[in-house]
Amino acid sequence: MATSTPDPSLPPLIGEAAAFAGVLSEVSRMAPLARPVLVVGERGTGKELIAARLHYLSRRWEQPFLKLNCGALPETLLEAELFGHEAGAFTGALRRRLGRFELADGGTLFLDEIASAGAAVQEKLLRAIEYGEFERLGSSETRRGDVRVIAAANVDLPELVAAGRFRADLLDRLAFDVVTLPPLRARRGDILLLAEHFGRAMARELGRRFAGFAPAARAALEGHDWPGNVRELKNVVERAVYRAEAEDRLIAEVTLDPFASPFRPAAAPAAADATPANEPATPPERSSPAPGFADRVAAFERELIEEALRRQRHNQRRAATALGLTYHQFRHQLRRHGLIGIA
């Protein structure tokens, strides 16, 4: 069984499947190199754990290992988090603050959801990775740092490059080598192995004994497709352990969908669903499409925005990326088309 616990605060990487063991072997070979690495895989496959393994198996293991989710911040704040800022660089910047590149000097910086970074941040990232140079916001002084960058994505970055939504030169620089993590459905032999591990850990946390899973529960775990991968499996197992009534009995039931209930509320209709299927979408405050060219263009723009919001589950940042817009451009379009209230 392949396991790794480079940092006691992180869960171990556990698995016997050939696809997973191959990834760990590949990571061990590339860990000593001071080169960027791109880690790709579906949500919940353990990209951050792979980044930690790359760091702790490298010569930088005693130096900082910092993490930043690029999808969690608007572009201006993301730039400030990465490169720091001087006092007064923007509203609210009351004092100088060091960025992650300065703080990670000599160590490793893990950038999750790298595809969410906007064009300006991508350009500065390229320079920082290529030459080790950057400036704090509000400063013209060039600084240098020795940082190994590990980036992660759960989308097809070459496809984004082809669509003009990600810099080809940045992708080339990040992809010195690429680690592709297999989804859990591609390593089914590891499902029960992981479930037993998570079950024992949860039982220890509760001060209980873990007896294991009954055949019906084991069959349910092995038969599920696990779209949320290892993270979803961990939630399912921990939920089953804490709900178990007797610690000396095998767990007979697992709840795969915690939302399953006869009283589950209906989903709120999307904004465009109010428009009858046989009628085109209309600009705000119009009962029917106007015959003018400008109004028809506006109606089409609104339809594109609403569709992007639906597809991205009303996550504005991802909807903006899907349309090839910056977050601020997207917000301007929302205001322009009267969609702020539904986004």
Q: Can you give the pTM of this predicted structure?
A: 0.73
Residue pLDDT, tens place only, 4-48: 444 444 447 899 999 999 999 999 999 999 999 999 999 999 999
Mean pLDDT, rounded, for 248-273: 81
Confirm if 38 and 175 have CB atoms less than 8 A apart: yes
Nearest CA among 33, 34, 32 for reference residue 147: 34
Taking the C-alpha atoms of residue 255 and residue 173, their distance in angstroms, rounded to an integer, is: 43
Inform me whether the pLDDT recorded for 265 exceeds 90: no
Q: Name residue 4's amino acid.
A: S
- Alpha carbon of residue 94 to chain centroid: 30
Inform me whether the pLDDT recorded for 279 exceeds 80: no
Mean pLDDT, rounded, for 263-280: 60
pLDDT of residue 167: 96
Q: How far is CA 50 from CA 26, 38, 113, 323, in A?
A: 11, 10, 14, 31
18 conformational bin, left if phi > 0, alpha if psi -120 to 50, beta if neither: alpha
Confirm if 148 and 109 have CB atoms less than 8 A apart: yes
Name the pairing type of β-strands 2-4 and 13-15: antiparallel
Name the pairing type of β-strands 108-112 and 65-69: parallel
Taking the C-alpha atoms of residue 334 and residue 200, their distance in angstroms, rounded to an integer, is: 48
Structure tokens at 164: 């003009």
Residue 292 half-sphere exposure toward CB, CA atoms < 13 A? 5
Which of these ranges, 111-125, 213-227, 260-274, 318-332, has the smallest mean pLDDT? 260-274
pLDDT of residue 267: 76
DSSP state of 33: S
Name the pairing type of β-strands 143-144 and 133-134: antiparallel
Residue pLDDT, tens place only, 102-152: 999 999 999 999 999 999 999 999 999 999 999 998 888 999 999 999 999
